[in-house]
Amino acid sequence: MSRTNVKLLEPFDLNGLSLRNRVVMSPMTRARAGKERIPTAIMSEYYAQRASAGLIITEATTISARANGWNESPGIYTEAMIGGWRQVVSLVHAQGGKIFLQLWHCGRVSHSSFHGGEPAVAPSAIKINADYIRTPNGQEPHETPRALRTDEIPGLIEDYRRAAERAKAAGFDGVEIHAAGGYLLDTFLQSKTNHRTDLYGGSIENRYRLLEQVVQAVSKVWTASRVGVKLSPNIGMNDTGSPDFREQYTFVAKQLDRFGLAYLHIMDGLAFGSHELGQPMTLAKFRQVFHGALIGNCGYTQEMAETAIAEGHADMISFGRPFISNPDLVERFTQGWPLAPMSDMNVWYSPTGVKGYTDFSTYKV
């Protein structure tokens, strides 16, 4: 089949993993895991409702207690967490779906109240320039993080490797390494947030080093063909955006191309706004340097997704917000049914149980 005849709703072979369509459910933090951060029964229902997606990528899931920075987001660092995720995976698989776990470290997008009074960690001691962060104690000002010591980095990499092992124990089909959005790995990549003078800072090559070592460690647990990486070159989320973003992310994509990854997941859309440091990097640019599967993300409509795939710029497209109020998003795309209105943002991240989470209806003909 020629690339120009490929459609969003047709199957895709992801390195031997058969996906029934090219619609990906994007990671979305929903804060329903409770204070113990153990995936719950309603989380299982939520993902199972959306299992008609070709691939589900879970909400960002912390690799260790030190990685936390969101209230009631899930983790993957205890046996109980493995058990909770195992129930999620089982229900998704029962519906014929495929699901990857996204591995997350919040980095400086955290607060000492998450860590017993200890500061959050980051590549450098640079505070986020934003109004506040939601903490266990309510809204509080951002704090200056502590720069990770060089001798702590092997332990951090081991946390990623062990989280990958636990994801495998839970039955996932693969994992995605979260290196986007201004969280820990992304801040190591960026010159704005990484002012280190050791092997993990300074040059473009050095700023990439931690991500490379994390990919290497995770690929010892999973074959690299079941490991994805997410990048966000164009957005200024969590006070990011570096003048040399084009050079940095082009280099990163070229280096990641050597691994034979499952995919590269690129936030190329501008639905969250741009850091306005020049023309955004496009999927077409990434296609020139990365030869594996590409997933486009952020603000796509069905028509935009079809065009991106038909023109050969993407192999899959991930959808976030439309999946919240449209659990049957794939069926609506298939039948040409209208999408349900955007849900109330006030319940997106609040621990309100089923309200605004699993209580959305499928389309009634």
The catalytic residue positions are: 183
Tell me the three state secondary structure of residue 60.
Answer: strand
Question: Do 349 and 31 touch, CB atoms closer than 8 A?
Answer: yes
Q: How far apart are the C-alpha atoms of 55 and 23, rounded to whole Å? A: 7
Determine phi and psi for 102, rounding to 5 degrees.
-90, 125
Query: How large is the C-alpha radius of gyration of the chain?
Result: 19
Of 256, 254, 248, 255, the residue nearest 277 (C-alpha): 248
Tell me the three state secondary structure of residue 316.
Answer: strand
Of 187, 68, 201, the residue nearest 126 (C-alpha): 187
347 DSSP 8-state letter: G
Q: How many CB atoms lie within 10 A of CB 141?
A: 12
Q: How far apart are the C-alpha atoms of 158 and 61, rounded to whole Å? A: 16
The residues, any chain, with a CB within 8 Å of residue 305's CB and separated by 6 or more, are 8, 22, 23, 296, 314, 317, 319
Q: How far apart are the C-alpha atoms of 329 and 100, rounded to whole Å? A: 19
- 189 alpha-carbon distance from chain centroid: 16
137 burial class (0-12, 13-18, 19+ CB within 10 angstroms)?
Answer: exposed
